[in-house]
Structure 1
Amino acid sequence: MDLKDQLKNLFPEHKEPLEPPKEKSNIWLQDDPILCKYEKRKGKPITILDGYTGATSDFKTLAKEIKKKLSVGGSFKDDKIIIQGDYRDKIMAMLKEKGFKVKRVGG
């Protein structure tokens, strides 16, 4: 008897949700692609996201989500997201999943 069966015995009136709720993002999607660049500053690799034309608060929210999902540090300066490390592939996959168009620049 696994845990689900035990819980069903304890709570017979409980019904499982059919589908997990999806995250709804309030971030504005643009037509132009976001540029994903790779650079080295002081010998350390960084990933830069540039080219977002929406509200600054939306881009800051996006930066926070990316940093949280990748568990890395970073910042938001001059309408650019700067992520510590080379995470271009992962970031591009995350942005495409959200519906953004992404263009890889350099290397």
Structure 2
Amino acid sequence: MSIEDRSSLVFVSGVGRIKEEKPKAERPHGDGIVRIMLKRLGGGKMASVVSGVPLDESELKDLARTLKQKCGVGGAVKDFNIEIQGDKRAVLKAELEKRGFTVKISGG
């Protein structure tokens, strides 16, 4: 005797689980200036955050990969911002200016 023979079905909706469609995140429209700021993390760690890059998500990930390789550190893309581990603002500014972006170092 199998489980299907012993079970008694109580409710069937007929459609299964309904997955909510999440709206695709859109890139925020900025003023055309790429800003690099230093973000202090816990434990004395720091991260350089690049914001305002006018690229789509896939192009932004490619740029982040290139910047991580130039700096020799790790990082991530979060909410259309590129986070690079450590204080690498000077290296990031030089590389982004070489690619034709207008760059400002913001914050302290």
Q: TM-score, normalised by structure 2?
A: 0.68
Query: Superposed, which structure 2 residues align to 1:1-107 within 5 Å?
Result: 32-42=32-42, 43-107=44-108
Other structure's SS at 1:54 match: coil
What SS does the corresponding residue of 2:95 show, helix, strand or coil?
Answer: helix
> Are the aligned partners of 1:56 and 1:79 in contact in 2 as well (CA < 8 Å)?
yes
- Shift of residue 54, structure 1, vs aligned partner: 2.2
CA-to-aligned-CA distance 1:28-58 (integer Å, 9 cap, x gap): xx97111101011102011000112321111
What's the TM-score, normalizing by structure 1? 0.68
Q: Who is 1:11 aligned against?
A: none
| Unpaired runs of at least 5, structure 2 | 1-29
Aligned residues: 78
1:103 deviates by 1.1
Moved over 2 A (4+): none
- Residues 48-107 of structure 1: per-residue CA shift (max 9 Å, x gap): 001123211111110000001111010111111000000001100000011111111012
Aligned amino acid, residue 80 of structure 1: N
- Please say if residues 31 and 101 of structure 1, whose CA atoms lie closer than 8 Å, have aligned partners that are also in contact: no
Structure 1 portions without partners, runs of 5+: 1-29
Paired residue type of 1:36:
I
The 1:86–1:71 alpha-carbon spacing in structure 2 relative to 1, beyond 3 Å, is same
Aligned sequence identity (%): 37
AA aligned to 2:37 is K
